[in-house]
Amino acid sequence: MNEFLNWLRHDTAGLLLLAAAGIALLLFLIIKVKVEPFIALVGTSVLVALAGGVSIDALVGSPIKSGDALIEKGFAGILGHITLIIGLGTVLGAILERSGGAEVLLGRLVKVFGEKGTPLAMGVTGFVLGIPVFFDIGIFVLAPLVYVAAVRGGKSLILYALPLLAGLSVTHAFLPPHPGPVAAAGLFHVELGWIIIMGLACGIPAWFASGILWGQWIGKRVQVPVPEDRVIPEAEEAVGHEPPMSVVALAIGLPMLLILGATFGNVFLPAGGFRDALVFFGNPAIALTVAVALSMWLLGTRRGMSAKDLSELSSASLKPVGMILLVVGAGAFFGAVLSATGVGNAVADSLAKAGLPVIVSAYVIACGMRLAQGSATVAIVTTGGILAPALTAGHYSQPQLALIVMAISSGSIIASHVNDGGFWIISKYFNMSVKDTLKTWTVLETVLSVVGFGMAALLYQFV
């Protein structure tokens, strides 16, 4: 028994078996036994940690140093980042829905693309607005548009959600100012201009294939209704008339502009008053707080809503958030356990020694890291760190290095599953079971990954 445990905890094959067994148990508990995902994630994570040799003190801490426990750090790492964003984004979305702002924006998009082109409008919105904001912020702010479109169209929520998610995902993985591609560019000493050019060249076809083609096909076959607790009363019942498009655009665009201003101000401006102001107001939590306060005034108070109405609306919109936070935190804990057991390092080391062409090796290592620990950003940064010494010592042009970054980015988003916090955000926010999330979102990410890498490999032959 001791020999088996030693092999399981220290041999690459044993670590991979441990990870596979943990994921299989988790899926069995959720899909077959119907255990609540939050409970299944916590229970499976504890079992995998113990089997993988994580000590009791490291896992749950001690009465003196409980804050260092893996279970607390796993939850706190992601919840510290998203809790404020989820709460503020949810309130902002509720105000947009209740005031009729989401209807106004959707109506303008439908006029441009036509009623049948509403899914495409969603995809374009996700792609454009995903450039300056993080993936999860985009979901929280733009999800109300998906709900409204699904209610108006009378079709599955999936048909409208997947194009939007594809746009947000591709920008998060392929384009600055998102942390993954920016970090990889720094490791390989690639100019961000080339990252943008190659990111668009690889990302746009991948977005169209995954979000539009796949989204349209699967959206007609998986029926998911809009959750009742997300449907806000019609705007006409609440305030009597629609707000102007300029106010709606300000409510949605302001946090994105503030965040983008902080990103570029931090890069191009010297330290001092104006830069510090941009960085302060561009913090996602601060930017969304400003947007919520402004929206309460412009879309609420100025249009006849009382303080009591706004308070009740905010409270109602936040009711579904508790379970979302629990599930996302538990998913992050599961990913932290897999990292603590050494699964990620074992996968990376074995793939790095496989002797593949550099662009293929970059993709495969990133895929392994993504599958092992769940985070796209961690997969990009870790893979970049593994390959950086060889690439900086070699004679690669700027376009070649940028395409290698695209290969890494493509690998970093493959097959989002139960150890990815984004998987649980999407599952809960868009009213999908685990099975339906695997059939729709997980496949979308895989299509996005494969097409993105295919474009990078193709272009690599000509630069």
Angle, CA 257 vertex, CA 250 and CA 131 arms, to 5°: 115
Helix (H) or strand (E) holding 342: none
* CB 184, CB 118: distance < 8 Å: no
Share of the chain above pLDDT 90, in %: 27
Average pLDDT, the chain: 84
- Which residue range(s) make up the domain with 356? 72-323+341-463
Query: Do the domain assignments include residue 244?
Result: yes
pLDDT digits (tens, 9 = 90+) for 449-458: 999 999 999 9
Distance CA 133, CA 126 (A): 10
The pLDDT of 219-233, averaged and rounded, is: 75
Residues 447, 51: Cα–Cα separation, whole Å: 34
H-state helical runs in 283-397: 284-295, 307-318, 321-340, 343-352, 358-373, 376-393
Residue 22 resides in a domain: no
Structural domain includes residue 332: no
State how far the Cα of 25 lies from the Cα of 9, in Å rounded to an integer: 18
Q: Residues near 1 by Cβ (< 8 Å), separated by ≥ 6? A: none
Q: How far is CA 389 from the centre of its chain?
A: 29
pLDDT tens readout for residues 375-413: 787 788 778 877 877 787 778 899 999 999 999 999 999
Residue 70, H or E segment:
helix 70-99
Digit-coded pLDDT (tens) for 75-87? 877 677 678 877 8
- Residue at 48 is within a domain: no
Q: Distances from the Cα of 393 to the Cαs of 96, 151, 191, 371, in angstroms?
A: 52, 56, 17, 29
66 located within any domain: no
Tell me the average pLDDT across 244-268.
Answer: 81
DSSP three-state, residue 306: coil
Q: How far is residue 58's CA from residue 49's CA, in Å, rounded to a whole number?
A: 10
Report if residue 178 sits inside a domain: yes
User: Which phi and psi (to 5°) does residue 320 adopt?
Assistant: -75, -10
**Does residue 38 sit within a domain?**
no
Closest CA to 133 of 184, 89, 96, 87: 89
Number of domains making up the chain: 1
In the block, residue with structure tokens 């102007």: 244
Look at residue 57 and tell me if it is in a domain: no
| Threshold 0.75, pTM exceeds | no
